[in-house]
Amino acid sequence: PWRRPVHLWLANRRGTRRVSYPVCLGDATSSGGQVVSCQLAGTHTINGKPPAVLGDKATCPLHSGEFAFIEGHPTRKMNGIPMVL
């Protein structure tokens, strides 16, 4: 259920910086699965989609199942729960 963060390199006056975007309901995973549950559905959205946080689930075709995200960002949180990036 691990997903590689999506990165975007942006130019600024000091050089470049990496921006990570949150994983949301329905997003694809690196193994070809999909995020299928979000605890914050109905209360929070990012670009119209509920964000995934620690404990939310995604499918994994490689391991034939549905698994929870076990890592989240240490400082980016929603309702005190680490966001999955």
Q: Domain locations in the chain?
A: 7-82
Per-residue pLDDT tens over the stretch 8-33: 444 444 555 555 789 999 999 888 99
Distance CA 53, CA 62 (A): 22
Half-sphere exposure of 52 (CA within 13 A, CB side): 29
Per-residue pLDDT tens over the stretch 47-84: 899 999 999 999 999 999 999 999 999 999 999 999 99
Distance CA 14, CA 82 (A): 29
pLDDT band at 6 (very low <50, low <70, confident <90, very high): very low
**What is the residue whose two structure tokens read 């946080």?**
53
**Would you say 40 and 8 are in contact if contact means Cβ atoms under 8 Å apart?**
no
CATH code of 7-82, in short, is: 2.60.200
- Percent pLDDT > 70 in the chain is 78
